[in-house]
Amino acid sequence: MQRLFSTFANGWPGLGLLLQRSLTAVFLMRLGIAELTGTALSLATIPQLVSACAGLLLLVGLWTPITGTLIAIIELWIAMNHLADPWTPIVLATLAGTIAMIGPGAWSVDARLFGRKHIQP
Q: Quote the pLDDT of residue 106.
A: 86
* pLDDT of amino acid 21: 94
> What pLDDT is recorded for position 68?
95
Q: What is the mean pLDDT of residues 110-121?
A: 73
pTM for this one?
Answer: 0.85
- DSSP E strands: which ranges in 1-121? none
pLDDT tens column, 38-89: 777 778 788 989 999 999 999 999 999 999 999 999 999 999 998 788 999 9
Predicted local confidence at residue 97, as pLDDT: 96
* Distances in whole angstroms, Cα of residue 23 to Cα of each of 2, 41, 47: 25, 26, 19
CA end-to-end span of the chain, whole Å?
26
Helix, strand, coil: what percent of the chain each, to 5?
Answer: 70, 0, 30
Higher pLDDT, 106 or 120: 106
Q: Which residues of 81-99 are buried (b: 16+ CB within 10 A; e: fewer)?
A: eeeeeeeebeebbebbbeb
pLDDT confidence bin for 118, thresholds 50/70/90: low
pLDDT of residue 1: 52
pLDDT at 63: 92
Percent above pLDDT 90 for the chain = 50
Judged against a pLDDT cut of 90, whether residue 35 lies above it is answered with: no
